[in-house]
Amino acid sequence: MARYLIVAHQTACSPELLERVKELAAGDQAAEFTLLVPATPTGHLLHNWEEGEARQLARRRAEEATRRLSDAGVRVTAARVGSHSPLEAVGDELQARPGYDRIVLSTFPPGVSRWLRGNLPAILNRRTRLPVDHVVAQVREPSGA
């Protein structure tokens, strides 16, 4: 049984991430997945955000993504909100709950994703010594727009 740490925020509900996680779950029926949503401020909060707002948004995203993953048959054992820094959030999670086998990182494409500006997938791999599956989610217009 493998333990996977899914790290995502704005892309947590993306079809690309859902498909990748479903593939992993299909390959190991006993696999367990934990969703970690860093409380990173998103676009509309960038100029004047408060930590409470960012955490609340991250919590809602985690709940929605957990629901979608569970509905797709994925065994999500926990959903957590972490530090605003994805690197710190992952470090905190691995220190508090060691034993993950792989990280599944979901971002927007290069040029759009703030997480990729510092090459987060490679840094996570180097610091954690865990394999990192990088899922790139397409930017979609919000529904109702």
User: Which residue ranges of the chain lie beneath pLDDT 70?
Assistant: 42-51, 141-145
- What is the reported pLDDT for 46? 46
78-87 pLDDT, tens digit per residue, is 999 999 999 9
Tokens of 132: 């990192």
- Vertex 28 angle, CA 105 and 16, to 5°: 35
Alpha carbons 74 and 29: distance in angstroms, whole number? 9
Question: What gap in Å lies between CA 13 and CA 26, rounded to an integer?
Answer: 19
Query: Which amino acid, one-letter code, is at 9?
Result: H
